[in-house]
Structure 1
Amino acid sequence: MQTNLKRRRILSGAPALLAGMAAANALPSIASASPSVAPGGLSADRTRITYFQVPMQKQWPLNEQLVKSKPYAKYFTKDLVAPVDMVNALAGGPLPPEHVLPPTVDGLAKMMRTFPDAPVSGYAFIDEGPLAFAQSRHVFPGVTAKMFEWWFTWHPIESERYMLWFPHAHIHNSVADPVRLANDKLTYGERLYGNPNHVTEYIGPMLLDSYINFDAPENFGVDPAALKANGFTFNASGIITPITDRHSPLVLMIHLGRDTPAGLEMINRYWIGTHASYDRFKKFPGGAHLSRELVKKMKLDKVILENLAYEMAIHDMTEFTCLGKFLPDIYREYGA
C-alpha cells in the first residue's frame, strides 16, 4: 500500500471558520466574536495540530518531566490547536508578491500601512538577501498588552516557564540579567531591552541556539508616529543572533501589539537570512557583511530558506495560539 504524505498536511480537519469579524471603533481592529464549541470542547474556528517533527516529538516527554514538579504545570499541554483561517492561509502556498516585504525602513513603513489587509499568516522566499520571510496577525480574546509585557518579563526566569509556550519545541530560555528583568520598579523597556535572552528551540526540525536582542521598534526602523496612530503599545521586537556568532544578525523579528475590543491584536514579522539594509543596526556594526558570511557558513540556500520560512510561520501560529489560550489565567495566578 502506497502512502502519499504531503508536507503541508500538518493539521487535522475542522469546521469552517465562523464569519462575522468586523472592524471596531476608529482603529482598523478586529471585532469580538463568540465562536460555537464543537464536540470535545474544540471551538469551531480552531483545529487540532496533529503533526510535529520527530525532534519535537522526542522533546515533549523530556519537557513534561521537567515541568511536572512546577506549580504552573497545569498550563503544560499536549493538545495544541491553531486558528482555521491561519491554517487555510498557509495551505495556499507562498505569499503573493504584494504581501512580501523587505526588512528595510520602507518595508516596515509599508507593514504599518498594510497590516490590516495582509493575510493572517504567510511565508515566502526573498531573493534579495537571500531571506526567509514569515508573517502573522493574531487576536487574543481576554488578553491585554499588560499581560504580554508581564509574560516577557516573567517567563525567561525559568526555562520550564518557556516550555509552556510551545511544549514540543521550546527547550531553554535564560536572560543575561535576571535581577533587572524581575525588577518591577523599572519600566518594561528598562527590564527587557539590552538584556538578551538565550533561547534554544526547534523551528521545525532545525535546532536554533541563539540570543534574542530585544530593543525598541524605533531602533529597527519602525516609525513612532505610525505606532501611535495605530495604537500599538506592546513591543517584543529584536534581532536574533546564533550563540556562536553573537555579532551576526540572523533574524529581524517584529512583534507589535495593541489592545482592541476583541482582545490583544498582534502583528509579527520575521526575516531570516541576510540583507544589505542590516548595516543600519547601530548595535550590530557591519551587520550586512556579517549576516551574509553567516548565511554562507550555514549553507542557507533557497530550498532551505523557503522551508524555514514555512516552518517559522507554523511555529509562530502554534506558539502564540497556545500562549493566548492560557495567558489570562496564568497572569491572574502569578502576575496580577
Structure 2
Amino acid sequence: MAGRAYLGYRGDDGATEYGGFFNPEMAALPTHVVDALHHGPQADQTLLELDGAAELLDDGYQQTENGYGHLAGGGFQVSVRTDMPGVTPGMWAWWFGWHGSETRRYKLWHPRAHASARWADGGGDGSYVGRTSLIEEYLGSAYLKGAIRFITPDQMGLPQSRIGDSVAVCARLGSSEVPVDIGWFVHHVRPTAEGAEMRSRFWMGGPYVGVRHGNLLANSLVRPVAARQLPDPRDLLVHCAQEMNHLAGFLPDLHARFG
C-alpha cells in the first residue's frame, strides 16, 4: 500500500465547508442496472459504436441503455442510464469543473472507490474542457491511476448546435503513469420532467487504445500490453452506476451552497 492514496476521510478531512456531504453509505444499485448485469454481454449490433455517438442526442432511447458487450471491430462498450430527480444538466457541468482540484471533493462522488484527484495543470476550480484530471480509484478490486482528458463534444462527433439545454461531458481516458490511452467516454445529461437523466457511454480497448502522440509502430506494440490492463466491463458498469446515483442524491444541495 506504500505510496497509494487512501479511501474515505481520515483525521480532519471532513473539516471543510463541504465535508458534511461525505457519506460512505451508498444506495443499492438501481433495478435496471442489476437486470443488465444478470443479462450478461449484449450482442454487438445492439451496442452504440463510437462513430455513432451523436445518436445520444436523438429523442427517445437506444436498444441498450444499460449493458455491455464486445464490439465487432474490437474492444467493448458499456452503457449506463442514471435517473436524477431534482438535478439539472447545469449542475453536472459545474461539478466537473469543481471537484477535480481537491481529493476530498472527489471522494464525495464515490466514497468506497475514489482515492485521489488533481488537475494535471495544477490549477483550481473552473472549466474542465481542455484539462486533464489525474485520478486514482478502484474499479471493482483493480486499483487504477488514470488520466482523463476532457474534450469538446464536437471532437467526439456531437455538434454543439444539437446539444441545446443538455450537457455532454466528453473525454479521452488513459493512464497517468505511461502515455497510453485506452478509451473514450461521454456522459450526456438531458432534462426530464422530474429533473434530469444521464446516459453514459464508454468505448474501451481494441481500436481505442493508442500511444499519445505516438505512431503506428508504437501503437501496434503497446496495444496487446494495454489490453491486459483494461477494466472488466461489468466493474465499469457498476462503478458508473454507483457514483452517478450517489452524487445525484445530494448534488442539488451541494450546488445550492457552492455553485
Q: Common fold, TM-score beyond 0.5?
A: yes
Offset, 1:109: 3.9
Distance 1:235 1:114, change over 3 A: closer
- Structure 1 SS opposite 2:181: coil
Q: Report if aligned partners of 1:274, 1:291 keep a CA contact under 8 Å in 2.
A: no
Structure 2 counterpart of 1:315: 239
Q: Report if aligned partners of 1:132, 1:308 keep a CA contact under 8 Å in 2.
A: no
Tell me, in whole angstroms, the C-alpha distance in 1 between the residues paired with 2:139 and 2:220: 21
Structure 1 counterpart of 2:206: 274
Alignment map for 1:1-336 (pairs within 5 Å)? 62-65=7-10, 67-81=13-27, 82-103=29-50, 105=51, 107-113=52-58, 116-129=61-74, 131-177=75-121, 179=123, 181-183=124-126, 191-225=127-161, 227-228=162-163, 231=164, 233-246=166-179, 248-275=180-207, 284-286=212-214, 292-300=220-228, 308-335=232-259
Offset, 1:223: 3.8
Offset, 1:241: 1.6
Offset, 1:115: 6.3
- 1:261-286 CA-to-partner distances (Å, cap 9, x unmatched) read 2212221111111317x78xxx9555
Flag the structure with larger Rg.
1
Tell me, in whole angstroms, the C-alpha distance in 1 between the residues paired with 2:205 and 2:59: 23
Stretch of structure 1 that moved more, 267-276 or 205-214: 267-276
Unaligned 5+ runs, structure 2: none
Tell me, in whole angstroms, the C-alpha distance in 2 between the residues paired with 1:139 and 1:287: 41
Tell me, in whole angstroms, the C-alpha distance in 1 between the residues paired with 2:148 and 2:134: 7
Tell me, in whole angstroms, the C-alpha distance in 1 between the residues paired with 2:215 and 2:197: 31
- Structure 1 SS opposite 2:112: coil
Distance 1:235 1:113, change over 3 A: closer
Tell me, in whole angstroms, the C-alpha distance in 1 between the residues paired with 2:216 and 2:76: 15
- 1:289-328 CA-to-partner distances (Å, cap 9, x unmatched) read 655543312452xxx86x7111100000100000100101
Stretch of structure 1 that moved more, 84-93 or 140-149: 84-93
Which has the bigger relative contact order, CA under 8 A and spacing at least 6?
2
Tell me, in whole angstroms, the C-alpha distance in 2 between the residues paired with 1:295 and 1:260: 40
Distance 1:285 1:298, change over 3 A: closer
- The structure whose residues are more often strand, as a share, is 2
Distance 1:286 1:143, change over 3 A: same
Percent of aligned positions that are identical: 26
- Write the letter of the residue equivalent to 1:78: P
- Write the letter of the residue equivalent to 1:295: R
- Structure 2 SS opposite 1:78: coil
Unaligned 5+ runs, structure 1: 1-54, 184-190
Q: CA RMSD in A?
A: 2.9
Tell me, in whole angstroms, the C-alpha distance in 2 between the residues paired with 1:68 and 1:97: 45
Distance 1:264 1:154, change over 3 A: same
Distance 1:224 1:295, change over 3 A: same
- The structure whose residues are more often helix, as a share, is 1
